[in-house]
Amino acid sequence: MPLVGVDEGTGGLVRAARGGDREAFGLLVERSWQRLVRLARSVVGELEAEDAVQDGLVAAWARLGTLADPDRFDAWLSRIVFRRCLRAHRRQRGRVSLEAVPEAPVSCDPAASVSAWQLLSRLAPRQRAVLHLTVVEGMTDAEIAPLLAITPASVRAHRRRARESAARLLQGGKS
């Protein structure tokens, strides 16, 4: 049954999608897409980000019935996509070192994009995600915690370690 007269807030769309409304789920996909791809790109890189997000979205559709509170859809979806990214990251590690194949730059400033990703890719996946959500999305610890299924204290610890590692790598690159 297509969306007719459905409350177009996230909760309303989730409830409609849970009832099998693919159009409602499509709208949720459209709303979340950019945000999820940005997160995935920081965890698995440009090449695999969109695949990881699509896989996560399909998995989310199948598991919509397990979502207790439709109003927490965004955090729930982010957790699913983040777990897909962790899986993709493990596969990447098994295949080839990320350092061996630096990604093609796609921004206006190629040097900046290569160096940002090259450094980011040497951090642990959770550190990458925390750094991304803090620096790029400007989120608070309390907002980040449910997205990654960790506590705000863990968010702070991951960010501190990420900055320490980044500083070490930057110092190493200088010498």
Partner 1 sequence: MKDPDVNDELSRFEAELRAWGARPARTSASVARTQVTARLPLVCEPIPWLRLAASAALVVVLAVATWLGAPRASREGKASVHGESPPPIDPNVVVWVMDTRTTVYFVLGPDGSTKGGMS
**Residues in the site for partner 1, rule: CB under 8 A?**
18, 20, 22-23, 25-27, 29-31, 33-34, 37-38, 41-42, 46, 49-50, 53-54, 57-58, 61-66, 106-107, 109, 112-113, 115-117, 119-120, 131-132, 135-136, 163-164, 166-167, 170-171, 174
Give me the least distance between CB of 163 and partner 1, in Å please.
6
Supply the DSSP symbol for 133. Answer: I
Give me the least distance between CB of 136 and partner 1, in Å please.
4
Give me the least distance between CB of 50 and partner 1, in Å please.
6
Helix boundaries (H) for the chain? 10-18, 22-44, 46-62, 73-95, 110-120, 125-131, 141-148, 152-174
Which lies closer to partner 1 via its Cβ, residue 101 or residue 104? 104
| Distance, CA of 111 to CA of 145 (rounded, Å) | 32
CA neighbor of 119 nearest in space, from 70, 89, 163, 155: 163
| Distance, CA of 38 to CA of 44 (rounded, Å) | 10
CB 165 within 8 A of CB 151: no
Give me the least distance between CB of 89 and partner 1, in Å please.
17
Which lies closer to partner 1 via its Cβ, residue 94 or residue 138? 138
Which lies closer to partner 1 via its Cβ, residue 63 or residue 91? 63
